[in-house]
Amino acid sequence: MSIIKYGLIVFLSWMNPSHAGDALSPMLGNPLSETTIQQRNFTVFQNGQGLPVGQGGVTAGKKIYTSRCLSCHGFEGSGNSAEELAGALHRLTDNPPDKTIGTYWPYATTLFDFIRRAMPMDSPGSLSTQEIYDVTAYLLFLNKIIDHNQTIDNKSLANIKMPNRNGFINHYKNNN
């Protein structure tokens, strides 16, 4: 038997699924459990789909913001090292643009999703659902999108009309 044929037989036998998990296979990855998939599959869509049941208010949100966000984002959402969240002095269309939640973000639901997924940056995933609703309400208030006494919940968040809702071009729609 030539070396090429012999090599082919070895290769085909390595491809055989019955060898999965033996010393020759790459042994990469483990199947995820249903619980882990549920924990990681937590996207909130722009229409509110995926929001957990809950509600939040501005006063409680201010407390969360002060203890968990202010050190990076500054008093009332601006002035420290991290991204400016509120307090725009001019518009997104000015030069240079002033990019805050109020001037830029098209959906309030995305704000909830982003905070739950990524903030506080030094400890993402550490806020409860209640705390995320509260701090989202406070940030909407700082951006003059809701009043001080207004609460938000999993039903109302998608109905909030963000100032820059129509400022995005749907590239996919325009090119198909």
Among 60, 82, 92, 158, binds ligand HEC (CB under 6 A): 82
Ramachandran assignment for 131, one of left (phi > 0), alpha (psi -120 to 50 degrees), beta (any other): alpha
Residue type, 65: Y
* Both tokens assigned to 96: 């240079």
For ligand HEC, give the closer residue by CB, 60 or 72. 72
Does position 60 bind ligand HEC by CB under 6 A? no
Does position 114 bind ligand HEC by CB under 6 A? yes
Does position 135 bind ligand HEC by CB under 6 A? yes
Does position 72 bind ligand HEC by CB under 6 A? yes
Q: How far is the CB of 142 from ligand HEC (least distance, A)?
A: 11
Cα 65–chain centre separation: 17
**Cis before 120? omega within 30:** yes
Size of the site for ligand HEC (CB under 6 A): 17
Chain residues 19-48 in contact with ligand HEC, contact rule CB under 6 A: none
Closest CA to 120 of 70, 50, 156, 168: 70
Task: Report the C-alpha gap between 41 and 163 in whole angstroms.
Answer: 29
Does position 115 bind ligand HEC by CB under 6 A? yes
Does position 68 bind ligand HEC by CB under 6 A? yes
Q: Taking a C-beta distance cutoff of 8 angstroms, is the pair 61, 139 a contact?
A: yes
- By the criterion CB under 6 A, which residues form the site for ligand HEC? 68-69, 71-73, 82-83, 85, 111, 114-115, 119-122, 127, 135
